[in-house]
Every structure is written in C-alpha cells, then in structure tokens.
C-alpha cells in the first residue's frame, strides 16, 4: 500500500505482515516502510502496488515498482 508519493520518482510503500508471538502465540501486526523507485510517477497514495528488490539506487532505496495492482478509490466531489 502506497503511503507517501511526494518525492520525485520515489514512493513510500508500507508492507504489513502477521507474525506469531513465540511465547504467547498471539498474532502481531508488523509494518515495514520501504522506499520504492517509481520513474514514471504512476502510483499515488492508497494504491496497492507490486514491488521487487533491485540494486541499491540510493541510501534507502533498493526496491522498484513493477505495476499498480489496484488504484485507490477517489472520493467524489459534491
């Protein structure tokens, strides 16, 4: 899920996973924020995207955008 798309050719993607606690067995929601290379600027906030790892493109950016899976629903203006 794209959470930030303000940079030039860069978007921030949040990946959510469920991890089981070792001792108690309860499922814990984990989040990872990734900087993703988007050269065409096709993704926007709220989109679900498919990403792949690549060579380091900058200090924090080692992922690239493959495709936009589902676009965010735009709220209607009244």
In a domain, residue 78? The reply is: no
Which domain, by its residues, includes 10? 2-70
Q: Give the pLDDT mean for 10-24.
A: 97
* DSSP symbol at 8: S
pLDDT at res. 76:
55
Q: Please state whether the predicted TM-score (pTM) of the whole model is above 0.85.
A: no
Instruction: Evaluate whether 3 touches 12 at the Cβ level (below 8 Å).
Output: yes
In a domain, residue 25? The reply is: yes
**72 pLDDT band (50/70/90 cuts)?**
confident
Instruction: Give CA–CA dist 40/49, Å, rounded.
Output: 14
Could you report the per-residue pLDDT of 18-71, keeping only the tens digit for each? 999 999 999 999 999 999 999 999 999 999 999 999 999 999 999 999 999 999
The number of domains in the chain is 1
């Amino acid at each position: 899920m794209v959470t930030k798309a303000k940079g030039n050719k860069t978007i921030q993607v949040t990946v959510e996973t469920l991890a089981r606690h070792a001792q108690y067995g309860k499922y814990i929601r984990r989040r990872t924020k990734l900087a993703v290379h988007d050269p065409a600027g096709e993704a926007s906030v709220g989109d679900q995207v498919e990403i792949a790892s690549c060579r380091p493109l900058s200090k924090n950016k080692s992922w690239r955008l493959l495709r936009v899976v589902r676009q965010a629903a735009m709220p209607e203006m009244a």
